[in-house]
Amino acid sequence: MYESIKRSSEQWNRFTSKGDEFGQHSCVDSYCDLKRHDMKDILLPDVSRKLVENGLKVALPDEKKFGVCLTHDIDDIYPPFHHTLLSMYHSVKDADLKELKKHSLWRINGKERSPYLNFKQIMDIEEAFGAKSSFYFLTAEKDPRRFRYNIEDVGTYMGDIVDRGWEVGLHGGYYSFDNYDSMIQEKQKLENVLGKSVIGFRNHYLRLKINNSWEMLSKAGFKYDTTLGYNNVVGFRNGICHPFWPYEPVTGKTLDILEIPLNIMDVALFECAGSFRQAWELSKQIIDTGEKYNGIITLLWHNNIYSSPHLKEWKKLYVKILDYCNQKNAWITNCEDVYKWWSSADIDYP
């Protein structure tokens, strides 16, 4: 299996650029480019297909045929000024006085009235479909664009998230993906405020150094990572729609951390699709592919989406995806549950 994953990763990297301004690797530049590509390169999990054809057996809870893993990166809890201006503009355009007041007055009424402190709203949406998700919070002080927030400001909110059975994990800072000391410091800071240990990690801007990042994450006490994905397209970056333990070619052993690949990120989806219809078509294709190969499809929707008037279609699509997956009787859960199941289940690898 791991030789197949290794060969697939090398193949997929041929379709990867040299890296953007944040050192993240991208793929094609638009939906049109994606359509011109050989679709199997990105939208078909070739490794998972071969594994299934050779006898891979995956038993999911309650005999579910496939899983959908829901995640949210909490990049901001207070709208930056340009976010506020954009929201106010669209509120006026839509003649929505309620939204206009919410986005224009929260700084006057107090930080606790911030539109981006919307975790209960997100959980309520998911609970309606029998689902739950993972929330990844930043604790890093350095960022290439701006300081984000103090983790102490969301202590109560994180407690509410955990109390409802959802997960809190670490959203590693921009400089953390290859800095062990930063990983440790950020993890301890989050755990001190949360009052419990965290096992999950996704790095800011999806920065990842294979295999160095995984080795450091394992050493730092994380149990899983869910960073591996594209930042401007959707699909299967490493050709697999199943979680896996990364392979270390030098030692010939697997690393003690589970990678749960990221398949659909909101920003990347709408950037490469360009319309609601195309975004839905791509999402549906990826979900149906995950079902076909008995896999796990991971989604990332940022929290600001649910409170931004100009991104209503993004929120609408998230609900449409949840409804579709619920109708298909998918196991819709968070990364913590996926990790616990995958690390204890009897997976029959060929």
Nearest C-alpha neighbor of 321 from the set 155, 131, 96 = 131
Q: What are phi and psi of 281, to 5 degrees?
A: -60, -45
pTM comes to 0.91
Query: CA angle at residue 44 from 38 to 47, to 5 degrees?
Result: 115
Cα separation, 306 vs 88, whole angstroms: 15
**Domains identified in the chain and CATH numbers:** 2-77+116-344 (3.20.20.370)
CA atoms of 257 and 217, how far apart (whole Å): 8
**Number of CB atoms found within 10 A of residue 86's CB:** 17
Answer positive or negative: Cα dihedral of 29, 42, 285, 59: negative
What is the per-residue pLDDT for 40? Answer: 53
Residue 347: its pLDDT value, please? 76
Task: Quote the CA–CA distance of 76 and 253 in Å, as a whole number.
Answer: 38
| Cβ 52 vs Cβ 263: under 8 Å | no
- Read off the tokens for 115: 């539109």
So what's the pLDDT on residue 1? 47
Scanning 137-264, the segments in alpha helix (DSSP H) are 155-163, 180-194, 212-219
Half-sphere exposure of 220 (CA within 13 A, CB side): 29
- Which segments in the chain show pLDDT lower than 70? 1-40, 348-349
Q: Counting beta carbons within 10 angstroms of the beta carbon of residue 115, is it exposed (0 to 12), middle (13 to 18) or buried (19 or more)?
A: buried
